Amino acid sequence: MDEFDIAILGAGISGISAAKRAAELNAKVCLIESHTLGGRCFHKGLYPCRYMMNQLENSGFAIRRQGLKGEEVEKNTDDASGLFEKTRKFSQSVAGKWEATLKEKGVHIETGEGFLVGANEIRIQSADEEKIIKAQKIILATGSKVEAPATIPFDEERIISADDVFDVGKVPESVLILGGDGGGCELATLYNKLGSKTFLCDEAPRLLPEQDPNIMEAMEGEMKRQKIKLLLNKKVISIFKDTDSIDISLDGGVKFSVQTIVLNANRKYLSKELDAEKLGLRLGEKGQILVDETQETTLNGVYAVGSATGRKGFHGLSEEEGKIAAENALGKKSRLNTDWIPRIVYTNLEIATVGCYADTAHHHGFRAVEGRCNDDQLDHSLIRTASTGFIKIVADKSSKNVIGGQIVSTHASETISLILLAIKKGLTVNSLANLSCGVSTQLLGVREAARACVEALRR
């Protein structure tokens, strides 16, 4: 029987992060995955979506689009299938890279279905054998999948899960995406770039309702600029599948037809193999694994991370949870600080936020003041012909420390880390206001937003 310091069940982004951190702390680590490394992030979500959008922007891809004079170019289905195949190969190459990286760090990787059979044991069932491994600590990263409502069942062709978009590999003439979170916005942008007439529907009255109001407004404006039809505060009443289309009725009397529906709403947590009741592992009402602030479950020595815990996650949060769980499993006392994890949405205009919003900073004990710089105030917007974004810096009125930032721009994901660094280091807003940077870069926007914040603090 093989024995390890830590065994990790599931090799999505949170499981990989846990394995990497545990190995860096010199632990003997076993990572167990039934398929290939990377889970949803590498194969079904962020990575393939970003890769495909980048290919569409840079490769002269001949999919159906509106020409400069408004005429449609004929759709090239061969290009579509080729692009999806290229994207799948990209995902496999990323998984292969990470497998090699983890093995170099000494992580032992097992391929097979893993079943938790005790606080220190996992049974692994592969195609040709069954084995038991023992570990002093276990981290569960079993993930989740999209769950179809009873009224809209999957058919694996025209009604599909957001997790299956890249496996199905087809570009419909029209598509309805149900679920307007960050992933839904990214998929809507992708389908729009591929040439589909795109509808984005959510039962909430706004896109990204947990965000700053200016962010919500910017995202909704971006969707409208892309000519993506927003159907907010709407619920599906009925669908009818015809030979070539799906007729859809929403509340409020809205009716239309599409070729494909992509479900991106409720998720089902993959905890069936945990035998939770027998082991004393407490689950929530929907099957999510309940954890404390250290990521430990109700079963002593067993931790859980990623979407299996029931939270609405994103890449940075999953990665950080894996790191925190590994550290705590090895005796450190680490805590997750979600204010230090950027939230990023990769649409045409990227959205990146970190720390506090001005409107809600009082919940954290701050008196917030913000400064804003719009893209059209900066020279680089003329160079890049991009002028619809903005940068906001949020500071505490008493300490003058930077406590938050929000960016809407084509390079928001690359710039937000500077604001995060200022928050982590406890820098005052004057530090950003005196930033030395090139006049044609987006960092100039950070500096100008910080200067606007300094002016607001003086009032």
> Is the domain of 251 the same as that of 329?
no
pLDDT at 383: 63
> Is the domain of 130 the same as that of 32?
yes
- 301 belongs to a structural domain: yes
Contact 25, 326 (CB under 8 A): yes
Contact 187, 177 (CB under 8 A): yes
Neighbour tally for 194: CB within 10 Å? 24
> Is the domain of 131 the same as that of 280?
yes
Q: Which of 277, 309, 337 is the last residue before a domain boundary?
A: 337
Centroid of chain to Cα 446 = 24
Mean pLDDT of 203-231: 93
> Is the domain of 320 the same as that of 361?
no
Q: Does the reported pTM lie above 0.85?
A: yes
> Is the domain of 386 the same as that of 399?
yes
- 397 belongs to a structural domain: yes
- The predicted-structure confidence for 326-348, as pLDDT tens digits, reads as follows 999 999 999 999 889 999 999 98
d(CA 40, CA 308): 12
pLDDT at 275: 74
pLDDT grade, residue 387 (50/70/90)? low
> What does DSSP assign to residue 425?
T
Owning domain of residue 258: 159-265
pLDDT at 255: 96
Contact 146, 44 (CB under 8 A): no
- The predicted-structure confidence for 443-452, as pLDDT tens digits, reads as follows 899 999 999 9
d(CA 377, CA 234): 37
pLDDT at 67: 40
Lowest mean pLDDT among 163-167, 190-194, 434-438: 434-438
122: which 2 tokens? 């996992």
Give every CB contact of residue 221 below 8 A, 6+ residues apart in sequence. 388
Instruction: Quote the number of domains for the chain.
Output: 3
> Is the domain of 353 the same as that of 219?
no
- 304 belongs to a structural domain: yes
Give the closest residue to 330 by CA, choosing from 111, 136, 186, 160. 136
Contact 146, 265 (CB under 8 A): yes
Give the closest residue to 205 by CA, choosing from 186, 220, 189. 220
Give the max Cα distance, the chain. 72
Cα–Cα distances in Å, from 282 out to 123, 245, 354, 389, 424?
20, 44, 31, 45, 34
396: which 2 tokens? 């505490």
Q: Which of 216, 235, 265 is the last residue before a domain boundary?
A: 265
> Is the domain of 249 the same as that of 111?
no
Q: Which of 245, 265, 285 is the last residue before a domain boundary?
A: 265
Centroid of chain to Cα 397 = 32
Q: What is the CA radius of gyration of the chain?
A: 23
393's enclosing H/E stretch is strand 390-396
> Is the domain of 127 the same as that of 211?
no
> Is the domain of 278 the same as that of 139?
yes
> Is the domain of 249 the same as that of 381?
no
Contact 373, 316 (CB under 8 A): no
pLDDT at 380 over 80: no
pLDDT at 126: 87
> Is the domain of 36 the same as that of 138?
yes
Which segments of 28-173 are extended strands (E)?
A: 29-33, 108-111, 113-118, 121-125, 130-140, 144-146, 159-161
